[in-house]
Structure 1
Amino acid sequence: MRHDPQPILRGLALAALLLAAVAGAPSAQAGTRCDTQTVSAEKVAAAAATALRVAAALDERDAPVALVARVGTDLSAQGLVYSHVGFVVRDHANGRWTAVHLLNECGSDRSHLYAQGLVNFFSDDLVNQDARIVWLQPAQAQRLAARLRALPQRSLHQPHYSLIARPGSREYQNSTAWVLELLAASVPDGAAIDQRRAAYDWARQDGFRPDRIHIPYSKRVLGGLFSANAAFTDHPVGTRLSGDYPVVTVRSIFDYLQRRGYASGQREWRNGRLMATPGPA
């Protein structure tokens, strides 16, 4: 779907999108580029099925918020599964289980915060319909949910976007960095954090460690997976020469939450099947 460039947009109603899927409406669209893309009825139906699975799992727990990851880009060459993560808020003004997340705008160097229904969240031109939920400890979840419902106040959002934003950068931010910083502002002793750098510093001192993504110089020059919307100059010269870039990834966020005991539970689906034990992220 082509995104309206206004922050914290209206969530799309689950029932309406399910109706579109059943009816086979060809006008459903997805994607963060500015060109219009028509999504097939089959893909909308698949997104609706994933949304129903996720919503049913969320309803099983008395939690006001959780993290939900999706596979929007194939990162298997980097050893990663999930490329994007957002928050899902139960009692949001836009509807029950509204996804709140940061998205790049039209392939530019800008981003906005969006509030969307779950079907729309899983309709965004994804590689597949794999999904993972991570729940937080109750006290942290309550603080985080309150902060998300109050957006855009205290949003910690930096609209200058880079896909490979350096962790802790003041000048750039990507979707995973925003998620980490909001989490850091909701953990014990972090509730009063209102500055991005302070949020990242808190997470780093608390044990967060970014992943390192290798981007050869040839890929930088010739283009490829990380060529668009990526500010390489956000990183020091030594990093650019080595090609090993520290980046906040979905995996590094989930590992941090698990290692520090902030995660209270997980659930994952691969190829539409519930996994007995969540696999690598």
Structure 2
Amino acid sequence: MNSKTLLMIIIVSVIGFTSPSSWAGSQSDAAIQHAPEKIVKFAKDVEKYAASKGARAFIIARMGRPEKELPAGIRFTHTAVALYSNITLDNGETVQGYAIHNLYQKTGQSDKSELVIDYPVDFFWGAHELKAGILIPSVEVQEKLIQLIASGKDKSLHNENYSVIANPFNNRFQNCTEYTLDLLNAAIYDTQDVAQLKVNAKAHFKAQRVKTSPLKLMFGSMFMDDVSTKDHKGKVYTSTFTTIGEYLRQNQLSEEFIAYTDSGDIESL
């Protein structure tokens, strides 16, 4: 065994399955994990639940990796905004349902992202567990989110430079949850000034400490394109579906904050 091969074995064993990249779930082309009919039913059930609560806009999350692989405090791997919309089917028919506005990593270029609209079945297609995070903001925030996205101003908040552990308090990198937080704060504070949004986030939002070893973070940032610690000083913090939900709840800006399973179980978060 030569020294280069030995080094790579050591790197793989150190990074392991709890490295940041192993729990990233912001890909649009993840492999299917469940029977298609089961995914379709679950997606429709999530839509029906949100609609039953009168949600015109809500925050939706999925589990892109098995729960046992996720670091402590992180329950979902991908977060996006779902808007009740008129949807044109392939046959030209128009139906009503939820369109999901995502920040996804680019295929073949994982350190870059793009904005993609898909639908609940697409959203859950590659989920490892059929469990959805559902966060319904206050009616006022919903209205402002809808206006923001309808105006196209949401695109001005997108930073294509991607890191799975992006620091939500600066704009060097961005991930799906930071983009969602930026959209919410743009709606709440009625501004698309990114510098001001970061000041507001720093003042009012409590981020999630990434509880994985510094060694894994170091090797991850060295050998994985979608992992960077360059936007952090000291301990690593990032935004998550759960911290966004806690942020809205603490400021009386949420109507519902739950996890919803394919068996219909509902867990208050």
Q: Check 1:139–1:222 CA distance in 2 against 1; reply closer, same or farther (3 A cut).
A: closer
Q: Return 5+ residue gaps in structure 2 as ranges.
A: 1-24, 89-95
1:109 to 105, 111, 115: 111
Q: Does 1:90 align with 2:84?
A: yes
1:154-212, Cα deviation, whole Å (9 max, x unpaired): 5400111111111222221111000001100111xx11x1122211322332x211011
**1:194 alignment partner in structure 2:** 192
Mapped partners of 2:58, 2:149: distance in 1: 11
1:42-93, Cα deviation, whole Å (9 max, x unpaired): 5322221111111111221333211111111245332321122111100256
Q: Check 1:92–1:256 CA distance in 2 against 1; reply closer, same or farther (3 A cut).
A: farther
Helix, strand or coil for the counterpart of 1:110? strand
**2:22 alignment partner in structure 1:** none
Helix, strand or coil for the counterpart of 1:160? coil
Q: Does 1:278 align with 2:265?
A: no
The correspondence of residues 173-184 of structure 1 with structure 2, limited to 5 A, is 173-184=174-185
Mapped partners of 1:48, 1:141: distance in 2: 26
Mapped partners of 1:138, 1:100: distance in 2: 19
Q: Check 1:210–1:186 CA distance in 2 against 1; reply closer, same or farther (3 A cut).
A: same
Mapped partners of 1:37, 1:153: distance in 2: 25
Mapped partners of 2:84, 2:61: distance in 1: 16
Mapped partners of 2:105, 2:268: distance in 1: 28
Q: TM-score of the superposition, structure 2-length normalised?
A: 0.77
Mapped partners of 1:37, 1:71: distance in 2: 11
Q: TM-score of the superposition, structure 1-length normalised?
A: 0.74
Q: Does 1:53 align with 2:50?
A: no
Mapped partners of 1:101, 1:162: distance in 2: 15
The correspondence of residues 161-240 of structure 1 with structure 2, limited to 5 A, is 161-187=162-188, 190-191=189-190, 193-205=191-203, 207-220=204-217, 222-223=219-220, 227-236=224-233, 239=234
The correspondence of residues 107-186 of structure 1 with structure 2, limited to 5 A, is 107-123=109-125, 125-151=126-152, 154-186=155-187
The correspondence of residues 6-21 of structure 1 with structure 2, limited to 5 A, is none
Q: Check 1:54–1:76 CA distance in 2 against 1; reply closer, same or farther (3 A cut).
A: same
Answer yes or no: is the 8 Å Cα contact 2:132–2:260 preserved in 1.
yes
Mapped partners of 2:159, 2:265: distance in 1: 36
Mapped partners of 1:140, 1:221: distance in 2: 38
Counterpart residue type for residue 39 of structure 2? A
Q: Check 1:260–1:217 CA distance in 2 against 1; reply closer, same or farther (3 A cut).
A: same
**1:32 alignment partner in structure 2:** 27
Q: Check 1:39–1:249 CA distance in 2 against 1; reply closer, same or farther (3 A cut).
A: closer
Q: Which of the pair is proportionally richer in helix?
A: 2
2:254 to 255, 263, 268: 263
Q: Return 5+ residue gaps in structure 1 as ranges.
A: 1-29
Percentage of pairs with the same residue: 20
Q: Check 1:266–1:250 CA distance in 2 against 1; reply closer, same or farther (3 A cut).
A: closer
Answer yes or no: is the 8 Å Cα contact 1:184–1:200 preserved in 2.
no
Counterpart residue type for residue 146 of structure 1? Q
Mapped partners of 2:194, 2:185: distance in 1: 10
Alpha-carbon deviation of 1:142?
0.4
Answer yes or no: is the 8 Å Cα contact 1:165–1:174 preserved in 2.
yes
2:74 to 68, 76, 80: 80
Q: Check 1:136–1:162 CA distance in 2 against 1; reply closer, same or farther (3 A cut).
A: same
Answer yes or no: is the 8 Å Cα contact 2:154–2:183 preserved in 1.
no
How much is the aligned-residue C-alpha RMSD, in angstroms?
2.6
Q: Check 1:38–1:73 CA distance in 2 against 1; reply closer, same or farther (3 A cut).
A: closer
Helix, strand or coil for the counterpart of 1:230? coil
